[in-house]
Amino acid sequence: MGVAQDNLNTVTEAQQASYDDNFKQQLDDFAQSALNDSTLIDRAAFDAKLATETATGINTRARSRAGVALSGQAANHAARLGDIQASKFTANANNRAVVAQDARNTDVLTDSLNAYNDLGNAGMNALKDSAGLEANREAGNRNRRAQASASNASTVGSLASMMIFGL
Amino acid sequence: MGASATMQEATEQETSLMKKGLADEALAREKSKPLLAEYDRKMNRDDTDRIAGATNADIMQSADATPTGQLLAAGQGQQQRETGLGQGLVDGGLNAAVASKARQDGMKSGYNTLGNKKNLGTTMGMGTAASAASTVARAEADAKTKENNAWMDAMVEIGTSYGLKKYDDYTTANDAYKEQKSKKHPWAERRGDTKLGELRKAREESDLFGLFSRFGGK
């Protein structure tokens, strides 16, 4: 094998190893996240929970400007306001998170499908090249087989002629 | 022993290339399957209600309305008036429907583009396969022709040799007969010259006598 081919083989093997080590699993994981990722929704749920707890804390520690604990109707009003704000935040965050998560997962889905399509095309190209190489090899073999047969025919003809003249 | 052709075997590189091609294509197809199913589900899902619901909920909350919508109309005493919230909900719903439809159209367009790419790949693969098969078939036909011509040449050579040999036999017998005949009396054979008769018989019994005496006789 020639030096150029040796070099090409070495680089190709290194590239294959690099792909296997660094990209193959990453692509699979990325593609899988298009089907099951809920990071944004989880984050919204966490924020909503935090907001609810914060509101509850504010309600229970509600004070007037003078630092006196609210009581009676004033305390109820403050608690109601806190609950409303928390509830609004929660519903809003969840709604937006669901839509945002779906948009993100759809983008990843599209990118991943295109990436796998490129991979499939690379495979097809390799198979097409293989088919071409095989066809050339097979054509060459048949040509050589025919040449050998033709050579045999010539030999047979010559031998037969010599025998005929020798009779 | 006749000549035998050495056949070119597939190199290791060629075999590796084929294995890699098969593996890559199979992996891509396997990994794409669940993604395509999810894509199909998403692009055929009407999200209008879902997005409109989320949008309307946001609108209601921004207006401090409760989920039952008591603030669609607000007023004091008997002087009630529109809040504009209803119109906001209509606009929001319409925007959501447009956005949903655009999203579906975009996904379907992307799906069709991908399908076209795959179909093109399949067509090109078939083209390569047909070209390869044609190359081999042409080589096979050329080889058969070469073999047939060679064997035909050999047969002609043998036939020619056979003919020359027989012609040589004929001319030898013919010459011997004519030489003896020229030395003797014209009626010698009729008078019982057996030697001359044997030579004539040998000449007439030689192979292909009729052919040579008519077209190549002396």
- Residues B150-194 have pLDDT tens digits of 999 999 999 999 999 999 999 999 999 989 888 888 888 888 888
Contacts of B208 (CB under 8 A, 6+ apart): B163, B166, B167, B170
Which of A94, A141, A162 is most worth mutating to test chain B (most B CB atoms within 10 A of its CB)? Answer: A141
Look at residue B6 and tell me if it is in a domain: no
Looking at residue A129, its pLDDT comes to: 96
Looking at residue A114, its pLDDT comes to: 95
Residues of A in contact with B133 (CB under 8 A): 135
Looking at residue A68, its pLDDT comes to: 66
Look at residue B55 and tell me if it is in a domain: yes
Structure-block tokens of residue B3: 């000549």
Q: What is the mean pLDDT of residues A140-148?
A: 94
Is the Cβ of B90 closer than 8 Å to some Cβ of chain A?
Answer: no
Structure-block tokens of residue A163: 């025998």
Let me know whether A88 and A141 are in one domain. yes
pLDDT digits (tens, 9 = 90+) for A12-46: 999 999 999 999 999 999 999 999 999 999 988 88
* Amino acid code (one letter) for B15: T
Residue A5 reports pLDDT greater than 50: yes
Look at residue A162 and tell me if it is in a domain: yes
Look at residue B111 and tell me if it is in a domain: yes
Range of the domain at A12: 1-27
Q: How many domains does chain A have?
A: 2
Let me know whether A46 and A98 are in one domain. yes
pLDDT digits (tens, 9 = 90+) for B81-134: 556 777 887 888 888 888 888 888 999 999 999 999 999 999 999 999 999 999
Q: How near does any CA of chain B get to the CA of A68, in Å?
A: 29
In terms of Cα–Cα distance, which of B209, B165, B157 is closest to A164? B165
Let me know whether A92 and A133 are in one domain. yes
Residues 25-64 of A with CB under 8 A from B: 28, 31, 34-35
Half-sphere exposure of B37 (CA within 13 A, CB side): 7
pLDDT digits (tens, 9 = 90+) for B10-32: 998 899 999 999 999 999 999 99
Residue B55 reports pLDDT greater than 90: no
User: CA-CA distance, A16 to A22, in Å (whole number)?
Assistant: 10
Residue B74 reports pLDDT greater than 60: no
Which of A125, A136, A162 is most worth mutating to test chain B (most B CB atoms within 10 A of its CB)? Answer: A125
Look at residue B2 and tell me if it is in a domain: no
- Asked if A151 lies within 8 A of B36 by C-beta distance, the reply is no
Q: How many domains does chain B have?
A: 1
Region class of A84: left (phi > 0), else alpha (psi between -120 and 50), else beta: alpha
User: CA-CA distance, A14 to B78, in Å (whole number)?
Assistant: 83
Range of the domain at B189: 45-67+82-216
Let me know whether A92 and A153 are in one domain. yes
Q: What is the mean pLDDT of residues A40-62?
A: 78
Q: Looking at A50-64, B69-83, B135-149, which range is the least confident one?
A: B69-83
Look at residue B139 and tell me if it is in a domain: yes
- Whether A108 contacts B34, CB under 8 Å: no
DSSP state of B10: P
- Write the residue in A141, A143, A154 that is nearest to B154 by C-beta: A154
Looking at residue A93, its pLDDT comes to: 81
Which of A124, A151, A158 is most worth mutating to test chain B (most B CB atoms within 10 A of its CB)? Answer: A124
Model pTM? 0.73
Look at residue B18 and tell me if it is in a domain: no
Structure-block tokens of residue B175: 């010459």
- Write the residue in B5, B61, B140 that is nearest to A148 by C-beta: B5
- Whether A131 contacts B132, CB under 8 Å: yes
- Write the residue in A99, A136, A143 that is nearest to B143 by C-beta: A143
pLDDT top residue among A64 and B113: B113
Let me know whether A18 and A72 are in one domain. no
In degrees, to the nearest 5, what angle opens at C-alpha A68 toward C-alphas A67 and A69? 115
